[in-house]
């Protein structure tokens, strides 16, 4: 089971002077249970690609296939594909329209005909899975903190029981604690079997958590691979607007001085290597 994207092309305002090529020949396959990060400078096509993954946008050429079903204008069950692949837009909390957190989370499943006890059970399950206290269910979503609002937005997608979760800049606008908590939460959801796809500027969390990373530059997929491979690629082929995190640059500096260290070893890996290098020979 997977989302398969092959040679996807997409332009906005086709056939007009304002035509913009947003994606050109992009290929990527996402297996269930994987964590994929899509990174790239502003305007590189991350949101356009994310929106193809749950059939908000339909390919103009190339292929998007969700669990074997191609996304095409004539596809009958686009609604089911949109349920299967939950898409969390950037700043989703700006789109809240319910007066309580409970109603916000219940909105999508109730539109699908889920009612009564089953609906309430879904709301509770989704709220708990994102760490929202039951006591907040009757609150106005706009009265919550930024991190809590992001959780409500996530719960409102999880209440549809998706198999894939696509998040467009999930950490945008959160403080350092909010980012850490959200990323840990995504890790838990992924451990529970959900695929996580995040479009992000945050290379540090992409290196730390992803199984694979796709780098977009001006609508083209220029590299895809494991974090270590992508860190090496970006070190050798700098991409405008993508700045390598300090820990990666520090690891690269150590490797350049003859120490054996992975570029994405992180702080603990760096400390281990430095301690080992300090010990006198034979101790
Ligand atoms: N609705 C739209 N109408 C016209 N052009 C658009 C539209 N949305 C995006 N574009 C253009 O398509 C290209 C890709 O945009 P996209 O929003 O996918 O990039 P992005 O990587 O998500 O950028 P950001 O990091 O700023 O969110 C850009 O050139 C952008 O200007
Ligand atoms: Mg975007």
Residue 217: pLDDT band with limits 50, 70, 90: very high
**pLDDT, position 173:** 83
Which structure tokens are listed for 82? Answer: 């949109």
**pLDDT, position 282:** 61
For the question of residue 169 being annotated catalytic, the response is yes
CATH 3.90.1310.10 fits 2-244, yes or no: no
* Structure-derived torsion over alpha carbons of residues 231, 237, 241, 244, reported in degrees to the nearest 10: 30
Ligand 1 pocket: which of 17, 40, 41, 48 to mutate (most atoms within 8 A of CB): 48
Atom of ligand 1 nearest to the CA of 90: 27
Q: Is the pLDDT of residue 281 over 90?
A: no
Ligand 1 pocket: which of 24, 26, 45 to mutate (most atoms within 8 A of CB): 45
Residue having the nearest C-alpha atom to atom 5 of ligand 1: 12
What does the pLDDT look like over 241-273, one tens digit per residue?
A: 899 999 999 999 999 988 889 999 888 989 998
57: which DSSP letter?
A: S
Residue 56 CA from chain centroid, whole number: 16
Looking at the CA of 26, name the nearest ligand: 1
pTM strictly above 0.85: yes
Which of 72, 169, 208, 229 is labelled catalytic? 169
Contact 3, 30 (CB under 8 A): yes
What does the pLDDT look like over 101-160, one tens digit per residue?
A: 999 999 999 999 999 999 999 999 999 988 899 999 999 999 998 889 999 999 999 999
Task: Identify which of 8, 22, 1, 40 has the alpha carbon closest to the alpha carbon of residue 224.
Answer: 40
Which structure tokens are listed for 245? Answer: 């995190």
* Cα separation, 160 vs 18, whole angstroms: 37
| Domain residue ranges of the chain, discontinuous segments joined by + | 2-244, 245-283
Task: Identify which of 39, 92, 55, 54 has the alpha carbon closest to the alpha carbon of residue 244.
Answer: 39
Residue, of 30 and 145, whose pLDDT is higher: 30
């Amino acid at each position: 089971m997977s989302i398969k994207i092959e040679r996807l092309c997409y332009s906005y305002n086709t056939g007009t002077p304002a035509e913009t090529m947003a994606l050109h020949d992009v290929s990527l396959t996402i297996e269930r249970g994987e964590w994929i990060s899509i990174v790239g400078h502003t305007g590189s096509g991350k949101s356009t690609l994310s929106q193809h993954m749950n059939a908000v946008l339909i390919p103009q050429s190339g292929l998007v296939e969700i669990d074997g079903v191609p996304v095409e204008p004539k596809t009958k069950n686009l609604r089911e594909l949109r349920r299967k692949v939950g898409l969390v837009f950037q700043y989703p909390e700006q789109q809240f329209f319910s007066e309580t957190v409970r109603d916000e989370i219940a909105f999508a499943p109730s539109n699908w005909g889920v009612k009564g006890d089953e609906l309430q059970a879904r709301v509770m399950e989704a709220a708990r899975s994102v760490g929202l206290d039951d006591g907040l269910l009757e609150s106005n979503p706009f009265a919550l903190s930024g991190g809590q609002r992001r959780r409500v937005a996530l719960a409102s997608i999880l209440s549809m029981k998706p198999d894939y979760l696509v998040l467009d800049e999930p950490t945008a606008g959160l403080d350092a604690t909010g980012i850490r908590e959200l990323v840990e939460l995504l890790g838990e959801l992924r451990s529970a079997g959900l695929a996580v796809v995040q479009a992000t500027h945050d290379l540090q969390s992409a290196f730390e958590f992803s199984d694979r990373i796709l780098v977009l530059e001006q609508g083209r997929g220029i590299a895809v691979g494991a974090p270590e491979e992508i860190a090496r690629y970006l070190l050798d082929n700098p991409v405008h607007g993508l700045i390598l995190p300090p820990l990666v640059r520090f690891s690269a500096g150590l490797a350049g001085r003859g120490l054996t260290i992975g570029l994405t070893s992180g702080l603990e890996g760096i400390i281990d290597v430095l301690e080992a290098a300090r010990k006198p020979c034979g101790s």
